[in-house]
Structure 1
């Protein structure tokens, strides 16, 4: 009972202790999609070119030749949290493309024991119920070629819905814009600007339910949480190059600079911008088998003696592609290599060209 009350109370404490401008709002949108990209430590801003480009850089949708859809499922925190993604994209004509995707990150079947004990001290287990806390993001992507050779751009419009059972819910809206450029010598460059107008979330607190947990933790949750939050802009700058060896072998090398416009624990940090680099590699054989590796999430961690330790996150992955059907696997986690258990990520991508 105490554990369930504490979970509910903590959810509200996170809301109430944050300021109106929350630098880390909607962080579930920073996890990433597609096991192929996760295996390369998300260093795909420049070369993404499939249905998952709606997430990584919508400009990449213009490289689609036919309709595609993608699915991904992952478990985090010892299977407590479920992360699901589905995407669909299609070319409109030779100069534009359209995509739509849905992300859900949630914890289900949380015990609600706020009504277990009544005012008289009587215990009734029939008053125990279950609830979920979940974050949803629906994204519509549009991409178009510019009159300049080799330059494409794309725009995302996203709707965010977050719920904490019957206790609270929020709606948010935001926009992203992405650009890709391919040089004459086949170097690829990409820029992704997330939440360019800042993304606003407005919370609706169920005051009746809130009163039931107000005193769950003494001294906490005495006032209603803030009802608005703002996600600050982020940027990813990428570069990539694909090399072909003896016709059958390929090697794609990619690098990203992930930027947040605030001071963080990233390896490069200032009051104006903080930068976290990421490197990714993909080795392919006859466009059939792929081996991937990457390293990223470089963080400076302050030790108990005030010294700094450099932390990083390595990832690996494997993929198979046959007649338009691609299955990918990645071994990754949400933080650095020592902060959380690694998770096995699987994703499926189908190119409708296989049905022609």
Structure 2
């Protein structure tokens, strides 16, 4: 039934529509983001709770906690706290849009206001031989000025990782749930179907991953990521995500002088990670063209 649900959604995701709760699409963990979020078939650590809950079904039996924070563009920020004890995991996501300028229908200022979002998530994985399955449930709360909305969602995931094989395949359906209703208007959640493949080569020192994703609020996209551990305790990461040419031109301000420096590398991701005595520290850089760049930090501990 899980596989059928994943495949059944593919045609429905072809028609793009506006969606709410976009903070659910900001990712989790600097390791995954540094690899361009090509993580559906990787899903081998605490970030599985976000990208593919099937990854919770197998791995180290110990406990792990991770805190992640991102300074995003235009004074927005997202903070996340996750706890994992396989096959269970929990994730809290808090997003703040900072101070926003309010205006009435005539365009006159009405004072500043803010927008804040919160998501609470519980996940579990199950192992069925070489096949792993997982599911998550979410409670989502959004508040804009004096208006609020609550919705519910679920994630479903599959992961095929034969024992002793360096290759894995994964699929996930995320944010399948109720619509978000603000006053009289209702909006769907950012539903997304993903499929991916990964390979751990050179005795695990090199990790390569590819993802294809089909969202309900935009065109299909491909993601690619790599992680290299040439020195013990240090990991270097690169990633890439495809965007339609029109969107790239708009973000990079083509025709208006463009942008330069790191911000011009829209679509590329980069990161670095350090691990020592059960602690991990990861950083990811996300260029957003004319909007600037986002910086994601994650601190983890295994015990």
TM bracket, shorter-chain basis: 0.7 to 0.9
Give the conservation status (yes or no) of the 8 Å contact 1:256–1:277.
Answer: yes
Partner of 1:181: 160
Residue segments in structure 1 that go unaligned for 5+ positions in a row: 1-20, 92-96, 115-127, 206-225, 267-274, 305-310
Please show how residues 15-26 of structure 1 align to structure 2 within 5 Å.
23-26=18-21
In 2 relative to 1, CA 190–339 (structure 1 residues): closer, same or farther, beyond 3 Å?
farther
In 2 relative to 1, CA 346–232 (structure 1 residues): closer, same or farther, beyond 3 Å?
closer
Offset at 1:231? 2.4
Please show how residues 186-265 of structure 1 align to structure 2 within 5 Å.
186-196=166-176, 198-203=177-182, 205=183, 226-231=184-189, 233-244=191-202, 250-261=205-216, 264=218
Partner of 2:296: 345
Decide which of 117, 132, 135 is 1:155's aligned counterpart: 135
What's the RMSD between the two structures over aligned residues? 2.6
Partner of 2:29: 34
SS at match of 1:301: helix
Decide which of 151, 169, 186 is 2:148's aligned counterpart: 169
Partner of 1:278: 223
2:301 matched to 1:327?
no
Offset at 1:298? 2.4
Partner of 1:293: 238
In 2 relative to 1, CA 59–312 (structure 1 residues): closer, same or farther, beyond 3 Å?
same
Residue segments in structure 2 that go unaligned for 5+ positions in a row: 1-15, 105-109, 251-264
Decide which of 57, 67, 72 is 1:76's aligned counterpart: 72
The higher radius of gyration belongs to 1
Give the conservation status (yes or no) of the 8 Å contact 1:295–1:314.
Answer: yes
Give the conservation status (yes or no) of the 8 Å contact 2:24–2:190.
Answer: no
1:304-354 per-position Cα deviation (integer Å, ceiling 9, x unaligned): 9xxxxxx95111110000111000011114x4xx242112211111111xx
Offset at 1:286? 5.3
Partner of 2:123: 141
Give the conservation status (yes or no) of the 8 Å contact 2:19–2:187.
Answer: no
In 2 relative to 1, CA 27–297 (structure 1 residues): closer, same or farther, beyond 3 Å?
farther
In 2 relative to 1, CA 162–314 (structure 1 residues): closer, same or farther, beyond 3 Å?
same
Partner of 2:268: 314
Partner of 2:10: none
| Alpha-carbon distance in structure 2 between the residues aligned to 1:135 and 1:105 | 5
| Alpha-carbon distance in structure 2 between the residues aligned to 1:129 and 1:261 | 34
1:168-227 per-position Cα deviation (integer Å, ceiling 9, x unaligned): 00000011101111136331111011133x432233x4xxxxxxxxxxxxxxxxxxxx34
In 2 relative to 1, CA 182–23 (structure 1 residues): closer, same or farther, beyond 3 Å?
same
In 2 relative to 1, CA 137–188 (structure 1 residues): closer, same or farther, beyond 3 Å?
same
| Alpha-carbon distance in structure 2 between the residues aligned to 1:230 and 1:314 | 28
| Alpha-carbon distance in structure 1 between the residues aligned to 2:111 and 2:227 | 47
Offset at 1:22? 5.1
Partner of 2:3: none
